[in-house]
Amino acid sequence: MLKQRIITAVILLALFLPAFFYPDASLLGALSLAFIGAAVWEWSKLNQIKPFLSRLLGASCVMICLLIWDRGLLESNWRNLWLGVGCLWVMGSLYIIRIGVGGWQSINQNVRVFVGLIALIFTWCAIYQAKSMSTNLIFSILALVWFADIGAYFFGRAWGKRKLAPAISPGKSWEGVWGGMFCVIVLALIWMRVEDSFAWTSPSLFKLLWMRGWVYGLLSLLFLSAMSVVGDLFESLVKRSAGAKDSSQLLPGHGGVLDRVDALLPALPLSMMLVVL
């Protein structure tokens, strides 16, 4: 299992690292779009859509994103759109987590599939726009989510006592959430110090948020850390509803694409919302 995880991780790094450092967003946009299409297929399967239709929905997602790309819409001013997407993410995800597994199953199947399709389309748009703004920005968003997850894991293992959402994800604790937030703040302070020391011309997410004042920056980081946990809980709820351990076996040793990007689904659009406000 460990060998599979390492091999898969090395292959993914070999694919994505050149795309991250490519001069424009085209290569990362193309690669990430393939994974987003696969994630839509997984989402459809988890919501009991038949195999052929699941593949068709994945292909449809790719076609919609390509149309957005081809029409040049990603270069438009998305300020109001990101604000709307952010509000929907906050209100919708908290509502779904509150109603739980049983409530999710009671929602119309077409609505459930549509929710995932829209969320994944906007995730891809956020990836493309963040990379278009700067490599530093997209890397810092990803790093925020990774550190929130790593911090939550280690703090939860060491001190976790109060369960966060035992009916959805029994392993998560409030102590883990606070630990993840602490790690994100430490990361942001170190990252900004390095930026200043090396005089990077393209600001990170952390610098862009801190430029609006330390209160705005701190609250934004805590908010994004919390919403990355919400994204993780959301996917766990959907998997529990389907009786599945992983979203698929597309990534040997890691599960499916959704298992790897669940925390990014809210974090990427919400990061773009906070940056463009």
Taking only the tens place, the pLDDT of each residue in 70-104 is 999 999 899 999 999 999 999 999 899 999 999 99
Q: What's the pLDDT score for residue 6?
A: 79
Q: Report the pLDDT averaged over residues 15-24.
A: 90
Looking at the 3D structure of the chain, how many domains does it have? 1
Q: What's the pLDDT score for residue 8?
A: 83
Q: What's the pLDDT score for residue 160?
A: 87
The mean of the pLDDT values for the chain is: 93
Q: What's the pLDDT score for residue 215?
A: 95
Q: What's the pLDDT score for residue 2?
A: 59
Q: How far apart are CA 241 and CA 109, in angstroms?
A: 12
User: What is the pTM (predicted TM-score) of this model?
Assistant: 0.94
Q: Report the pLDDT averaged over residues 112-140.
A: 96
Closest among 171, 175, 181 to 149, alpha carbons compared: 181
pLDDT score of 191 more than 90: yes
Q: What's the pLDDT score for residue 201?
A: 84
Q: For residue 176, what are the CA distances in angstroms to 9, 34, 127, 158, 162? A: 25, 32, 27, 9, 9
Q: Report the pLDDT averaged over residues 155-180.
A: 92
Q: What's the pLDDT score for residue 127?
A: 97
- Contact, 162 vs 195, CB < 8 A? no
**Domain containing 98: what range?**
2-276
C-alpha atoms less than 13 angstroms from C-alpha of 139 in its C-beta half-sphere: 15
pLDDT score of 183 more than 70: yes
C-alpha atoms less than 13 angstroms from C-alpha of 216 in its C-beta half-sphere: 13
pLDDT score of 1 more than 80: no
What tokens appear for 226 in the block?
A: 């919390």
